[in-house]
Amino acid sequence: MKLGILADIHSNLEALRCALDALKDVSGFICPGDIVGYGPNPNECVEIIRNLDCRTVTGNHEYACIRRTDPSYFTGDAKEAIEWTSKVLTTDNRKFLEGLPEYIENEGFEMVHGSLRNPLEEYVMNVQVGAATIELMKKKICFVGHLHIPLAIVKKSDGKYDGWQLSDGDIVETGKFDKAVINVGGVGQPRDMDARASFGIYDTEKQTVEIKKVEYNISAVQEKMKKANLPEFLIERLNYGR
């Protein structure tokens, strides 16, 4: 079975639709959090994830938008987008976000937004931090988000750790490692200096994760962000994937 992995969608409807077009052959979907935040279409993106019956964990932006955490610890631009998102969310979509768990354990993998050590806020951004999550893993694979950069951090059969950033078309053969933490990058706000929407395909039989990237209509998203009076920095950064 193949599963599409959609992380850090961040209310970017155009990016999400293009990612889904590229994932027509998968059997199901999983989402390591942050459906909302930053972008102009939170309700539409939440409704798509709801209709996909996508297994989803909550992200730090979800928590802030539903007021389970104080958004004041975010940067000014992010906080402004969270305040706007919280105001426009429908009742049904808010209830959906309120019901999302921080952690999911499946037969073949587990999933959190940040890390197993801190499910909402810790960035798995290097081998040292990744090793801490690996030592808490119950399954061979843990999918994370939050960083918006595709990468793999693994524990090899000799007990040593390794990690590397991933690019479009890269395939991680997770079956070759004792444990693997995988981030497929951000659908709606990539930060690896590649502006294309980034996502992944998990083949449960082959035990592989493939990184996929697709172009989308960035200017259309930016126009909607301008109409919503969202911060200029959030609008411009989409051009650069940072």
CATH (domain of 210): 3.60.21.10
106: in domain: yes
pLDDT at 69: 76
Given a cut of 80, whether residue 17 has pLDDT beyond it is yes
When pLDDT is averaged across residues 190-215 and rounded to a whole number, the result is: 98
The pLDDT, as a whole number, for residue 118 is 97
Tokens of 4: 């599409």
First-to-final CA distance of the chain: 32
Alpha carbon distance 143, 113 (integer Å): 8
**For residue 51, how many other CB atoms are within 10 A of its CB?**
8
* DSSP single-letter state for residue 238: T
The structure tokens 């102009």 sit at: 40
CA distance 50 to 207: 26
pLDDT tens digit sequence for 24-76: 999 999 999 999 999 999 999 999 999 998 999 999 999 999 977 777 778 89
Residue 213 domain-assigned?
yes
Q: Which of 151, 38, 36, 59 lies closest to 112 in space, CA to CA?
A: 59
Q: Does 242 map to a domain?
A: no
Do residues 74 and 234 lie in contact, with contact meaning Cβ atoms separated by under 8 Å?
no
56 occurs within a structural domain: yes
Q: Is residue 89 part of a domain?
A: yes
Per-residue confidence at 14, pLDDT binned at 50, 70, 90?
A: very high
pLDDT score recorded for residue 107: 84
Q: pLDDT, tens digit, for every residue of 103-154?
A: 999 989 999 999 999 999 999 999 999 999 999 999 999 999 999 999 999 9
Question: How many domains would you assign to the chain?
Answer: 1
User: Which domain covers residue 203, as residue numbers?
Assistant: 2-237
Task: Give me the mean pLDDT over the 14-32 stretch.
Answer: 97
CA atoms within 13 A on the CB side of 29: 22
* Backbone phi and psi for residue 38, each to the nearest 5 degrees, phi listed first: 70, -55
Q: Quick one: which H or E segment has residue 43?
A: helix 42-52
